[in-house]
Amino acid sequence: MVTARFDLTTPLGRKRADTDLMWTDHGFLRAAYQNFHWISPEMARANQPSPKHVARYAEMGFKTIINLRGESPTGYFALEQEACAAHGVALVNAPLGSREAPPKARLHRAREIFETIAYPALMHCKSGADRAGLMAVLYLHFRKGVPIEDARTQLSIKYLHMKAGKTGMLDFFFETYLEDAKTAPMAFLQWVDEVYDPEDLKARFHASWWGNVLVDKVLQRE
């Protein structure tokens, strides 16, 4: 999805795309720090890559990049799509939210992705903190068989994830599963399909949430 505004075949479109990536999307903050971490020998996580970062990841041997921000009519997406194609890296668009109760279909889609992509692979969102953390938990559970209790450490301050703000929805999601499973033990996806109610979870989370200006205003998380 590329708009005329970010048409990379024109000098003006490319200039606008570069500006969008660097300034509108805060790429200047990611120039020196990619929040890059290996989850396993075949999977890594990071923040939004620039074309130079995509080239570097291709040199490191990555075969797939999972874009958790999804396809969008933006300069940063146009540049990432172009760079992946130029370096022979498959780009998988799998949008997730950092402040919403994860939709059931997207949880199933995550498992499908892990079963079908070429490895080594890298997943990213904007900051590499929240959506990448959610997907990392799912990767460890679905692909590696790690219990949710242990896998959820991928959502931590080590990766710049902050539980106190609205992004704490992701922590609350996994915590709710673990609490429910104490009463009625069941597999994670069974709980997702048979017990989990995204709207109810969202309502209960917001009823107890007290907010965090740092996460929502200063860091401008999506």
Number of structural domains the chain divides into: 1
Residue 155, pLDDT > 60, answer yes
Under a CB-based contact definition with an 8 Å cutoff, are residues 39 and 136 in contact? Answer: yes
Residue 196 has pLDDT above 50, yes or no: yes
- pLDDT for 3 equals 74
How far does CA 36 lie from the centroid of its chain? Answer: 13
What does the pLDDT look like over 54-65, one tens digit per residue?
A: 999 999 999 999
Average pLDDT over the chain, rounded to whole? 94
Angle ∠(90,91,92) on CA atoms, nearest 5: 115
Q: Domain containing 65: what range?
A: 4-218
Tokens of 189: 């996806």
The pTM of the full predicted model, rounded to 2 decimals, is 0.92
> For position 89, which CATH number holds?
3.90.190.10
pLDDT (average), residues 70-92: 98
pLDDT value of position 212 = 46
User: In the prediction, which pLDDT does 169 show?
Assistant: 96
Is the pLDDT at 102 greater than 90? The verdict is yes
